Amino acid sequence: MLGLNEVCLTANGDLPPEGVYVLVYEKDASVGGNDAVGMKWNVASISFGLSLEERAKLPETHPRKYSYGADDEDGNNKRAFGWHSVGPKHYFGQCITAWTHLPNRTEDEITKIAKRALEAKKRVY
């Protein structure tokens, strides 16, 4: 199991379990809302599709032989997986270069952190 603060590189084949939301890193300056150097963090989950090799092995009568999904390796998607954000955004597999687990905090811990942040803000103003 990976540590909470460990960042995993997708190029190394380090991928999270399917359907688990993680913090993902996208490097694509063409997407709106990026910071000044074109890097962006977002929350998303991975969804696995078919690779070109897996599709080639399917029998001609298989329903997925000629039916392509957004997470399949084909066209613009260079990997056999895609990333789905909590909003409407979908990323091709190669668009996410790194990911890490989201903090697993209890509601009490989140409340304490929020209170400390509010108190610190009050001291500044």
Q: What is the pLDDT along the chain (125 residues), one digit of tens a residue?
A: 444 457 888 777 889 999 888 989 887 645 455 455 555 788 899 999 999 999 999 999 999 999 999 999 998 999 999 999 887 888 999 999 999 888 776 777 767 766 776 777 666 55
Full-model pTM: 0.71
Nearest to 54 by CA among 69, 72, 41: 72
Rg over CA atoms, the chain: 19
- Give the C-alpha distances (Å, rounded to integers) separating 81 from 6, 11, 44, 76, 89: 21, 13, 12, 12, 15
Which residue ranges make up each domain of the chain? 8-124
Residue 103 in 3-state DSSP?
coil
